[in-house]
Structure 1
Amino acid sequence: MPLPFEWFGNTDKFSLHGAIDDASGEIVGLYMTKNECLHGYLEITRQMILNHGIPSCIYTDRHTIFRSPNASKVSIEEQLEGKIINDTQFGRAMKELGIAIITARSPQAKGRVERLWNTLQSRLPVEFKIAGINTVEEANEFLLKYIPKFNSMFAVEPEDSELAYRKLTDDLILDHILCVKQTRTIDNGSVFSIHNRHFQVLKSPGLPEIPKKSKITVIISTSVGIKAEYQGNVYEVINFIKPKRKHEIKQSKPKTKYIPPDDHYFKYGHDKFKKVYFDESYEEILSVLEEIFLSKYA
């Protein structure tokens, strides 16, 4: 678990998410956020897959990001009766990629990654200070270049040379997997609601129109924003403001439109990944992304 740490040598604490190859000790992903969150774990998974491939399994702790807290409450009898505990969003993504999750029961069971944290906590603050880095955005850019440097010094040859990674195939679109998926029903105007906000599905050239009252899968991704999926087809959406009824209209002061700055967390683009940028008119999408991906996990 990435406990908050003073990475920049001041009193501000941030969480560094990481993944390490247990056979070689090679870091396969590092990503920093304010708190331990779903976004951090999805980003190190993205790094791992793009740079190495899809692993056969991953070894995690029993955090609720990876495993539903209700999973241990289901008895054998209930399992035999067919009772199923829904996967977490991270668990669902791993299942779509064919990655098995093995959960550890103690820090000692994750000895290699625990030693990695000790090493990074002693080395990275010094590296950040030398490079003049004091923000999360700068740190994440630096970490992409630091990983190969670290691996060249500390990685070892695995006992078994057979790779435990599969190639990413064309039919697997990471932006549509490493995301949050929720089911919604569109109304007669192709509008659906999510997180107390409304969005309208746009008609797309070459794609069939979605019938009214159909159930759709809403794809919420830090890379592509919010999209709608129906029968394997992915559609663009826009923010939709439902007109108020007459008795709901009240006199109010004009609101100042919020324009997200260029360094907004989900407008930040990584060197190795597709640039993440949402037009200023998409402030509703940016708000949803923050609520879902950057919420603090206890």
Structure 2
Amino acid sequence: MKLVGNEELAHGLKGRDFLALVDYTPEEIQYLINYAIELKRKNKAGEVYQPLRGKSLGMIFEKSSTRTRVSFEVGMYQLGGQALFLSKNDIQLGRGETVWDTAQTMSRYLDGIMIRTFGHKNVVELARGATVPVINGLTDLSHPCQALADYQTVLEHKGKLSGLKVAYVGDGNNMVHSLMMGAAKLGIHFSVASPEGYDPDPEVVELTRENAKKTGASLTLCRDPKEAVADADVVYTDVWASMGFEAEQQKRELAFASYQVNDELMKYAKKDYLFMHCLPAHRGEEVSAEVIDGAHSIVFDQAENRLHAQKAVMAAIM
């Protein structure tokens, strides 16, 4: 399949790692979104498209997942390849073998590696050692596959990306890091409301501001959710205690008590706002049931687009 006028872009993506959106140009990110939309169209039309026939993806899971495992595994199948699920108990990586040795060995068997883990440095080290493309399925620092699928979803619903305002309310975690960088790359104005002590990583914020200058996007950090949500086209939230922070649940419930996304807060957004959440969600905590199950919610469109966006990434780089 060819996306008209983008042959050079497509050629430049072959063999690349997909570790963070900061590594990709605005044009490359838009290409992947357009590719995902085209692959989704083909899938809905029942068209068989298998550019990865005969290829294999190794999927390393040090963090459990519903959407990541199913979407990557089904995605590889639909593209004509196969995916191998590898938990931390299935491989030597968790029992003393270095990341470098694991990367070198797996590169001799596979055409690509996806890893979902804790420390971002593990993904970087895996990519350094591998001779095949490595995809970041999630780390404590970033979640680029989710952000790519999210902006595909926004484009499908709003018809554009540049100039929109996306507001994020909650923990300054890996999800907000990838969302804010994607926004900067795509010309989207982005605002974040987090309680003190739970702000996004300062280095990611600075890097986001540098990229935003190139596209005319803006980044606003504040404490007041109402300020962040004011006139927003999209409102996004995530769980208060991400995986690995469950022990802080009660402490975080107190810190985030005034940060719930509910009908009262949504009065400050645009009337045609979209609500987004990367899931899993805790109704009654970070978001009310009325909002996540309401007419403005597109959370399951997001979940579906993980399949199409990741297929685009795999087909492009593998």
- TM-score, length of structure 2 as denominator length: 0.27
Q: Which has the higher strand share?
A: 1
TM-score by structure 1 length? 0.29
Larger Rg: 1
Which structure has more relative contact order (CA 8 Å, sep 6+)? It is 2
Task: Identify the structure with the greater helix proportion.
Answer: 2
